[in-house]
Each structure stands twice: as C-alpha cells, then as structure tokens.
A = this chain, B = another copy of it.
C-alpha cells in the first residue's frame, strides 16, 4: 500500500517563515493614515507589539520562527499532505490531486498558525490581554487557544447575530478560556453609541473590529490581533506552503496549479507565496485564488486605496476592493465575505503573478459533497471553493487527456457549518452574482487619495 497521506516529523516544521516582499516584482504600496501620508510604525504601537510591526514591513526574505512558536505549532503540525485518490477515481481524471489539510488543528482551520505567533510576540512584549473580533468564530477560536497557550487573556467581540446563531463556536472559545462578548457591547464607546442608536442591533464585523481596536488602543496591557489581510498574518501562514513543498518532493511531484480560497488572503499567501520564488525563476506554475462570485474582490473589484474595515477606522491599504461599505450577501462561506483583500495578494494579482477565479455557491457545495463522499472529510464552505476549482481543473485535464498535478489547501473542516449543508440539501441555497451597478457605487465610496 503506497502512502496517500504524507506526514513530516515535527523537526520538519519550518524554522523560518518566508517573507514574499523581497521577491515581489513591485513592492507593496504603503499603508496611508487619515492625512493621506504613509503611516509610521508609531501609529501601530498602540495595538501591536514591536516584533509584529517589524514583520509587517520587513525586507528580510526569511524570518526565524521562535522555538516556543514552533513548539505550539507542533500540537498539530506539520499538517498532512494528502493525495485525493478516491476523488481522482470518482472524476476518472488523469490528474493527480493533492490537498494540504489544515482542518486537523484544534480550532479546525489554518487560523491558529498565525494566532500562536501573535500570542507569543504579545506575551514576549509584556502584554497581558488580547482583543479581537470574530464573525463565524474561526479566528476567535484560534486566538482563544493561542492565548491559553501563552498565558494571555483573550476577549473576543463576536458579531451579535453570530453569537446567537453559532453558540457552539462560542462554547469552543470559552472552553479554551476566551471571553466572548456579543457586539455591539456596552464595554466600548463605539458599542455604546451603536446600542443607543439601535438597542436590538445584530452587529457587524466592522463594528466588532471597532470595539476590539478601541479597547486595545485605550489599555496599556491590551493589544489587538487580526486573523487575515495584514502582511504578518500571511507571513505566519507560509508554514503551509513550505511544508507542502517538502511533502510534494517526497511524493516526487510538483504542482502545475495551486488553488486556495480567498477572503482576506491568508490561505492564498500561506500556500502560494513559497512557490513564488520558483515561478520567478521560470517554473511553469499557476497560482489561483478562488473567491465567491457574490463577493468577487479580485476578479471584479477596483485596485485602489480603501479602508480595511467598513467604517473607515483603519489605515488605508492599496488593494482590490468592492468598496469598504459593500455588504456581501449572506453566503455560507463567511470567511470569504470581505470587501477587500490583502495588499500583498492584491499587488501580486495586479502584477499577474497570481491569478483569480470566482465560483458560485451551489457549485461549491456540490464539490464539497462529492469531496465528503470520496475523501470522507466534510469541508468548510470556504474550503469548498478551492475544491470546486480543483475539480474543474481535473475535469479539464480529463477532457484534454493529459496528466496534471493539482494542489489545493483544504483550509478547514465543516463541523460547525452543517446547517449550511442542510440548506444545500433542502435546495434553499442561491447562486448570486455581483451586480455591475454595485461596482460603480463602490468607486464613489472610495476614499480620495493623491496620486
């Protein structure tokens, strides 16, 4: 029996993260403050520890992973690389399909890869508490776990409607010692004002971010942590791609194409950045971000400066955006409902180093169910976007009658998303296109920036 699951020993957990910035054809544009000028490190010191701020703009290609972070990662890493042979057989494709499985982490996704690093650096800096926001709960779970491992208290502002609808994600955070607060809350100025306007407010991710940042900025012992979008988060996620490269080498293979779901960009950065140097050196490899057709940031958005949050509290980042006030429809891949994208991913897409494609909701669930029935693992709806793209690629290879090596990230399991599968089986899901009018409206909403 040949091995379809390739494990690495813990000693093979990467010793360094790969920083893509030195290898980018165009360096990323600076973050801008409210005055339109690049913000300095000082502006970030109120909410981030020095090591994170340094990583955000570092020009070092390799950044050492502290040993306590590697030891924390070792609870679940290296993550397996799996040859999806049963899926290949079901598709009757000559393609070889591999997936890097990140759902085996305690929190069930790739998110803890950055959470443990951020918790470590904050603890090192003498910080006692972290705040963050969470929607569906993946990131809040991950930071609760990480805080527990490094002795930090963690307060999570959870979008009120999710707090009510996803009680089990909340329980998970509490099991790891996190304090979960429905947002808007009476603990912050932003929350109190929102509750005054609407005592029955169901909250939003933008509001939860405002609360978490406000609390972190106003307390010396407290910092803020973000689960995607920012450069340091993508940096921490590169352990995914670094491991996958080693594992594919063991399998004697190399991908023709790599897929990852794309919301804020942490999956894309995580698996794809380590392959970029090969591509720059002339290797023929396609790197494809997969996003929902209803929230098609890369494939339809403007490349422009915009705010990272919905109310304009964050610095402005140059990125593909559907407009910071765009409210994505209520699709079940909550992690992909983001109006913008990582500045790094955006720049690389703009420079045609990365590609992007969008897929519809129903087709992603079809792919998720086929994957469940062949490979066993029930994927998170976010992950099913990459599966859909991989299946389509494998079917195209069959059509063309040629071999092809496909790699994708299975970023998380769907154990907390079963109600979405219910709705799929009940025929209640809808496909949704992004309306062209919305794009024109988005242009209007973009902040005015010189140059």
Taking the complex as formed, is A71 at the interface, i.e. its CB lies under 8 A from any CB of chain B? yes
Copy number in the complex reads 2
Check if A145 sits within 8 Å of B425, measured CB to CB: no
Given A106-B376, A148-B373, A373-B148, the answer on whether A171 and B7 have CB atoms closer than 8 Å is no
Taking the complex as formed, is A74 at the interface, i.e. its CB lies under 8 A from any CB of chain B? yes
Taking the complex as formed, is A108 at the interface, i.e. its CB lies under 8 A from any CB of chain B? yes
Give every chain B residue within 8 A of A60 (Cβ-Cβ): none
Task: Across the interface, name the chain B residue whose C-beta is closest to A372.
Answer: B175
Check if A378 sits within 8 Å of B422, measured CB to CB: no
Task: Across the interface, name the chain B residue whose C-beta is closest to A112.
Answer: B376
Give every chain B residue within 8 A of A421 (Cβ-Cβ): 171, 174-175
Give every chain B residue within 8 A of A145 (Cβ-Cβ): 376
Give every chain B residue within 8 A of A378 (Cβ-Cβ): 106, 172, 175
Q: Which of A47-102 contact B (CB under 8 A)?
A: 67, 70-71, 74-76, 86
Taking the complex as formed, is A26 at the interface, i.e. its CB lies under 8 A from any CB of chain B? no
Taking the complex as formed, is A249 at the interface, i.e. its CB lies under 8 A from any CB of chain B? no
Check if A11 sits within 8 Å of B7, measured CB to CB: no
Q: How far is the CA of A371 from the CA of B3 in the complex (A)?
A: 31
Task: Across the interface, name the chain B residue whose C-beta is closest to A174.
Answer: B425
Q: How far is the CA of A425 from the CA of B106 in the complex (A)?
A: 20
Give every chain B residue within 8 A of A168 (Cβ-Cβ): 415, 418-419
Q: What is the 8 Å Cβ interface bit string for chain A, positions 10-34, against chain B (1 contact, 0 not)? A: 1101000000000000000000000
Known: A1-B13, A7-B7, A105-B376. 12 other contacts (CB 8 A): A1-B10, A3-B9, A86-B149, A106-B377, A106-B378, A108-B415, A145-B376, A168-B415, A175-B372, A175-B373, A175-B378, A415-B416
